[in-house]
Structure 1
């Protein structure tokens, strides 16, 4: 193929075309309409969202530089960091994958963390993504420069300690939600002389065999750790702060609804797919796609119970109570401690295979009273009882305040201060007022209450990349959402949430670990509602800073880049398609 210019007629005297003959006045931009200017993009994090973004940029954009800074020594994000015993996804494996990277070889219906990490590393290598990624590099400061229209960055090499400068036109935060783990705020925690472990920073050499161990917390991590280590420890003290709903296994839940027929056709060996089943997935693409779509539809349908609390929510509660009662062996003391009074879904449901059954084992003690302090030898409970242990495992979660780890200084100060001092809010979960050319994956009000995060990541990446292309081709130097647009969006969220089970009286990371705080983590609607919302770009909700005094300078020299494409008469192919 020849150059673009060779495919178009010469433009005569275009360089001298002005509005009034004055050389200092407006001049036509000597390029075809649709030309993408060169931009530099920096992404924070090489977890699932960061890797997917690389693919999305390569598929849809040209004329850009891109670097991903990842603080860890390997890609994978939360699946690299979370290696505790029993760690697995709470979502069906074949729907916890990228649509552009299907994997018919998943071992189990819900994959272990190691298999998900292997999937992410494998696609990273096979897609040749590593040249764009700098491992063991952490952004420690970002400041917007209005004159340059750029972010000025400070980067730290976490191996050498070297700090250096970088810059970009667009800063994309793909650092994730459940990524910044934290120790529990318990007096004397670090006075403990035994082994102190956090579930999200699990030491490879930690040996819990034949030891007296305490596990603090019954969120998803605690629920998975307890049954895995229980057979191997001498004694396990499980400290829980509140009750939680434990769902039946995924396969059992999927046997009801639209996916029942195809789920019944799946051949399993225990909790694993048989070789015959995996071969069928690989050989019959229509069957495989049908399986994925049926499961996806079933997962999406669960949102209805979040808003129909009286009918569907009550039906879910009865199912959960029956399941938990049976799994706890009818032990009234454990039932009183474990079965919640708040609505199903107030906290994210955890399948918790084997968890409830393990609580009745002879070597487990469930403690529901608070911890007054940690001593050198163990726990002092609020009753005054001292419980001596060899190791403390804190399955106590993450900082889910959405506050950035490092200063992000936009047009009106540090985003850290803005979100610490008020309710974190973002436009459609991904853009922030007064922080230009900054987009975040899974920010405040994303639809993470149900369904696969990977599918969500794909959609927000397409939305962000569409905005980058708009800026590239329409002479936009900087873009940010309007403050009143975000204010109205937040008002809608706060008015909507009381009608959902998420607003129930439970302590949840949806509310930044509080029981009665505002719901900052969730979208006011279903996943489909969010996907549909992102399809309709509302340019009126954004403020633009142009690189010219004339908003139409990007129209260029009268020609279009489409005239040089392989199908320059595309408009004849789909006459009934809307723009």
Structure 2
């Protein structure tokens, strides 16, 4: 397997050969303008992003082949893996869906994990996507071959244990930012002799009833798990290192802020647990205008939330006051709990999380809060800094994921193994979709993507369209390799660094937005609103990329071909289209 590294030429355009090598003589390519070359695309991951990639390529691309490697035994990604009690989306259900596959039958305002998994599986079946997806297959290495303009891949068949080779013109990594779960860094963790569980790898047979249990972590998973299991456990110790903002129920917030969704929410039938009534679901199914109005109103409300994280703004100040009041009320005014659980850092520094019942559950007689006072884990439980020992049957770690953006396998591009770079340097990407020094390699929700801005479903649609535009450009313009220029990546990340201090995300406070650090660069979030991200991806900025061309002469205009256009050679195409669209850009 070739593992070649070749630096770009001084003129910013890499051609896979040293700059002193003479160009081959130029000859006209005997193909019409608009011809496409065949490409092979390898996708990684069959969660929401991977499934959307399959559909987008089918709709927008021709002359290609695609295989998506998925390590799990079925599609669904995070919604297959996360099955802990209480797991659900914290974005309203009717916005946590693909725009091209609306689902009027969501059961709850915030859909349970299993319902989202079934939604994704149903799409996979009904869209006949399984012929493009190989489950129980894990990519274990990728090496860029400069001379051939191809990726060499190593793939492990997890069912058979066989490892085989594949190759691709393009790799599209949709493995997800919240996928590689991690244990907490606590001394003695592996010495525990009871049941040690991570929320992202929940054992279905685990029975927590009448057990003494510790839940470590108060991120999105922890605040959903605690109130769900609290009524059934004998004793629950909740271990919290950093406080987090818990906002009022989303419907209450939308109504209080008088946003676009307020009017339509008043017409929707929900019970006290925010389940949609059967009659309401039937209305959504039989009245498409009502359904679309509801979805769009909710989407506008979500898109308008960005000012809350802008430091010094009136909306942030108003929201902070209301959230403090809400948390204080839910904690019953208990001074010890309020001091431990209500943050001092700005609203939005950590992910803003709705968590019905969480704060109230911490006042239950069978719950004890352990606030930043774990010394170590011992074989039968937790030893506190005071010396006191807490005996446990199970320790549940709701401690999140590796957010370093470091791939889980070697990705060897023009600048060596990407893993080596990301182990020592903060991740930098181009518009979150492409990486410097890594040609023909694209990412869904890479560094500084919109993962905290609302639904990733519609975000993945915009990303997939953008990546597809780049691939089409390569197909039609004779481009063998494309990579964002180092200058473009540096300029883009300079903008990120200058912008982030305007937001609560940059404020001191431990957050996965900063890869778990108290201080440091914000590497997980886009520097702007959700609409800002979509707008940014509207056009491909060709000037920000370095190109290697297929033509032996390395002539960028070889794609102009034999003087004819595929448009005039297509008998079904109207070759006088321009007469009908005089004002169209």
Give TM-score, length-normalised by structure 1. Answer: 0.94
Q: Give the Cα–Cα distance (whole angstroms) in 2 for the partners of residues 441 and 227 of structure 1.
A: 33
Q: Give the Cα–Cα distance (whole angstroms) in 2 for the partners of residues 562 and 453 of structure 1.
A: 36
Partner of 1:196: 196
**Deviation at 1:459?**
0.5
**Deviation at 1:573?**
3.0
- Alignment size in residue pairs: 555
> Could you tell me whether the CA contact under 8 Å between 2:54 and 2:129 is conserved in 1?
yes
**Deviation at 1:259?**
1.2
SS of residue paired to 1:272? coil
State whether structure 2 residue 576 is matched by structure 1 residue 574.
Answer: no
Equivalent positions of 1:405-484 (< 5 A) are: 405-484=408-487
Q: Give the Cα–Cα distance (whole angstroms) in 2 for the partners of residues 573 and 284 of structure 1.
A: 36
Match of 1:300 among 296, 303, 321: 303
SS of residue paired to 1:299? helix
Partner of 2:84: 84
SS of residue paired to 2:65? strand
Partner of 1:96: 96
**Deviation at 1:537?**
1.7
Partner of 1:6: none
> Could you tell me whether the CA contact under 8 Å between 1:475 and 1:546 is conserved in 2?
yes
Q: Give the Cα–Cα distance (whole angstroms) in 2 for the partners of residues 395 and 290 of structure 1.
A: 37
Equivalent positions of 1:96-495 (< 5 A) are: 96-255=96-255, 256-270=258-272, 271-495=274-498
Partner of 1:67: 67
Q: Give the Cα–Cα distance (whole angstroms) in 1 for the partners of residues 584 and 109 of structure 2.
A: 39
Choose 61-70 or 446-455, whichever is displaced more.
446-455
Q: Give the Cα–Cα distance (whole angstroms) in 2 for the partners of residues 572 and 447 of structure 1.
A: 41
Q: Give the Cα–Cα distance (whole angstroms) in 1 for the partners of residues 394 and 401 of structure 2.
A: 20
**Deviation at 1:25?**
4.4
Q: Give the Cα–Cα distance (whole angstroms) in 2 for the partners of residues 121 and 223 of structure 1.
A: 27
Distance 1:309-1:79 versus aligned 2 partners, 3 A rule: farther
**Deviation at 1:326?**
1.3
**Deviation at 1:484?**
0.9
> Could you tell me whether the CA contact under 8 Å between 2:470 and 2:540 is conserved in 1?
no
Choose 547-556 or 126-135, whichever is displaced more.
547-556
Q: Give the Cα–Cα distance (whole angstroms) in 2 for the partners of residues 423 and 39 of structure 1.
A: 32
> Could you tell me whether the CA contact under 8 Å between 1:309 and 1:501 is conserved in 2?
no
Partner of 2:544: 541
Distance 1:63-1:158 versus aligned 2 partners, 3 A rule: same
**Deviation at 1:463?**
0.3
Q: Give the Cα–Cα distance (whole angstroms) in 2 for the partners of residues 428 and 61 of structure 1.
A: 22
**Deviation at 1:332?**
1.4
Q: Give the Cα–Cα distance (whole angstroms) in 1 for the partners of residues 351 and 582 of structure 2.
A: 46
Equivalent positions of 1:33-72 (< 5 A) are: 33-72=33-72
Q: Deviations over 1:359-405 (max 9, x none)?
A: 00010001103322111100011221110010000000000000000
Q: Where does structure 2 lack aligned partners over 5 or more consecutive residues?
A: 1-23
Give TM-score, length-normalised by structure 2. Answer: 0.93
SS of residue paired to 2:510? coil
Partner of 1:505: 508
> Could you tell me whether the CA contact under 8 Å between 1:441 and 1:457 is conserved in 2?
yes
Q: Deviations over 1:155-203 (max 9, x none)?
A: 0111221111000000110000000001111111111111110000000
> Could you tell me whether the CA contact under 8 Å between 2:242 and 2:372 is conserved in 1?
no
